Structure 1
């Protein structure tokens, strides 16, 4: 394979490109004329790539989608994420009428935070230094990406999109950059990502900050304090890591996700060599019993949803330059976590992917018949960065040991419900953290304001 930057020979069409099947288009003639059948290639069939492809398709663009797996392979494969999507991201799906599983997925109405007290293993509430539940203004939902991506991919094909099942290499994109008006790369792993250089000014970490371990389970009991409320639970173990528990909808119906984030080298960093799913779950529960006994108490009867219900790994949070340069001189635009990959500690991955797709869709529509040149690509990413920068700032802050004013804020939420609610709703709109989270003076002023209102 030709390396990026070498002098290419005259590009030829990859042999598989002529074998893909295109479904008859269902677009109207007026839409065809309006956009002159502009041709767009989307590489990668995740949350952002599929949402963007389906959105472009609904506006009359001729869209080709490349995936390295079929819908059936995705549906029967291993879990891919711990997605929990909040109101704004869910609304982007509703706007495109893609919220196919909204009536089936649990409606998550709250977000709770618990902080383990040091030195004891009693499952009672006294062993939580902090424990509160914030209420969301609009419900959140989690749909296993195996369900969603497979369903959306089938919908894209049924609506007339050209679906190519093939892994893409840089050489393939070199050819396609001449055949399409715009190439979007939303495949967040492998060779293609290397085209997008790391932006050191926006990437303070060069190494993974957490070791990640996920298990999808049936049989988890409710939290006894709020048995009637579906909620995401954020459990913090100072100096060790975090566990997030969230209701989800998977291939076998209602389930829960148990998600450990361990500080590298610590006791939770224990899943690297675990290959057997049953062993993965046993280790998950063993660590819960040791560090989060109140959560373990409701997990004693859980079982994996399926053999593909576990996942482990790690990656360094990275912001990359959004424009990739191909050997033949063509340009491609990176999408979502190809260019802004945050640690999942704040649960923003699928939310950011949805917001990126919505932002890029708006920029493409506004460009009309004009060229998708380098200046436009830069402006398109900068527009998305106006939202993404708040996610990156907040996520990177949460990866570091919390300063005193943050500890005070999280502690105050246990006595002041408006503080708990505002913190919870920050997961939907991380920009709000600028107003009360980072600056000690703003935090103190906010807590004094809420305390005064509560005492009035």
Structure 2
């Protein structure tokens, strides 16, 4: 029986641990928090998982909350009209919703990670509650066939050097602020189905609104992404959750009044329902070398950390776990050497590179052809549908998003069809 150590109990680490466990591997999972500490702690993320990522969970029979979480059947895009926001709120220049081919869902990671961790232990997995340092891994590497690092923050990440050729940004491109709330009213447009709403405010930032399932049931996530130094970048030093929500609502009223109109009665789901921070999107070298010479393989956002502007974090983690699971199972009894580690990462990068390219493109000011594309989606439902479903399969953006010629040809073909 092959022995594998996974450090980090997030979406990727737990999904991979449970997948290996179900295939007869002896898995040890290290987490710096217990399931109860995760469940009663602060929200860790926003997440909206699209069909492909959800299917990876279903394949492992880990979709425990599927019947309880809202079914997200659409993805809407609004763009604020140009002009000053100070004299009076401007409204939308663009507003549409595309239907998703397969529904998306969001489950608060406090619910999911705690539940999965308990399942892993109940199934006989060895769960070690301990923050891991490089020196710990140096010791463990000798006793395991493979060590995987799936903890995307802290000292361990420093073992994986930045890949400058795949990382165009050295600094954070957005300041992030999250609130989980109850009491959000329905959007007047298409109240008959749930949708993620992407609100773009040129030169200022974005507001994403997504239905979720949390500790207290159905809720919604209000997620602000502010251009650093701009009017949304005001959450540093705000520690009080009520002040965080109040500030969020003020900014919504000023910059996205159409969303604020349904948020006048919201309240936080719980005292841990807010989060703020920022990080630079980075692709790293997938192989870490320990002081004693052992090698470890980075997983998910340890090696490919994208800004959450395209909602891909949990999706990418799920896809990485599924890809790595296939690579491990296919390797049989052979040694997990550096060549295998690099090959395993490159197999995942075949998918991940499309997420990174698209996300980095969305962080910059949109070029004219992209604005034309997003605008055309309001008049042409097939364009809205294709754009929305790209969130599930970002590789499709290669065909119609990046190059003005391809965008123009695509819009011509749809308009003429």
TM-score, structure 1 normalization: 0.90
Deviates more, 1:215-224 or 1:124-133: 124-133
- 1:311-332 alpha-carbon deviations (Å, 9 max, x no partner): 0000000000000000000000
Task: Tell me the distance in 1 between the aligned counterparts of 2:67 and 2:83.
Answer: 43
Q: Which among 148, 171, 185 is matched to residue 149 of structure 2?
A: 185
Q: Which among 326, 348, 363 is matched to residue 384 of structure 1?
A: 348
Question: What's the secondary structure of 2:42's corresponding residue?
Answer: coil
Structure number with greater Rg is 1
Q: How many residues align?
A: 416
Task: Tell me the distance in 1 between the aligned counterparts of 2:90 and 2:133.
Answer: 55
Task: Tell me the distance in 2 between the aligned counterparts of 1:403 and 1:121.
Answer: 22
Q: Report the counterpart of residue 24 of structure 1 in structure 2.
A: none
Q: Report the counterpart of residue 150 of structure 1 in structure 2.
A: 114
Q: Report the counterpart of residue 432 of structure 1 in structure 2.
A: 396
Matches within 5 A, 1:273-288: 273-288=237-252
Q: Which among 332, 342, 360 is matched to residue 396 of structure 1?
A: 360
CA contact (8 A) 2:91 2:256 kept: no
In the TM superposition, what is the alpha-carbon distance from 1:119 to its structure 2 partner?
3.3
Question: What's the secondary structure of 1:267's corresponding residue?
Answer: coil
Question: What's the secondary structure of 2:141's corresponding residue?
Answer: helix
2:169 counterpart of 1:201 = no
Mind listing any 5+ residue stretches in structure 1 that lack a counterpart?
1-36
2:61 counterpart of 1:67 = no
- 1:232-273 alpha-carbon deviations (Å, 9 max, x no partner): 000000000000000000000000000000000000000011
2:293 counterpart of 1:363 = no
Q: Which among 283, 287, 293 is matched to residue 323 of structure 1?
A: 287
Question: What's the secondary structure of 1:179's corresponding residue?
Answer: coil
Q: Report the counterpart of residue 256 of structure 2 in structure 1.
A: 292
Q: Which among 8, 32, 54 is matched to residue 44 of structure 1?
A: 8
- 1:159-209 alpha-carbon deviations (Å, 9 max, x no partner): 000000000000000011100000000000010000000000000000000
Task: Tell me the distance in 2 between the aligned counterparts of 1:136 and 1:342.
Answer: 23
Matches within 5 A, 1:164-179: 164-179=128-143
Q: Which among 338, 344, 352 is matched to residue 302 of structure 2?
A: 338
Q: Report the counterpart of residue 314 of structure 2 in structure 1.
A: 350
Task: Tell me the distance in 2 between the aligned counterparts of 1:364 and 1:397.
Answer: 32
In the TM superposition, structure 1's runs of 4+ consecutive aligned residues that sit over 4 Å from their partners are none
Q: Report the counterpart of residue 21 of structure 2 in structure 1.
A: 57
Question: What's the secondary structure of 1:178's corresponding residue?
Answer: coil
Task: Tell me the distance in 2 between the aligned counterparts of 1:339 and 1:358.
Answer: 15
CA contact (8 A) 2:94 2:378 kept: yes
- RMSD (Å) for aligned C-alpha atoms: 1.2
Task: Tell me the distance in 2 between the aligned counterparts of 1:441 and 1:274.
Answer: 45
Task: Tell me the distance in 2 between the aligned counterparts of 1:312 and 1:145.
Answer: 16
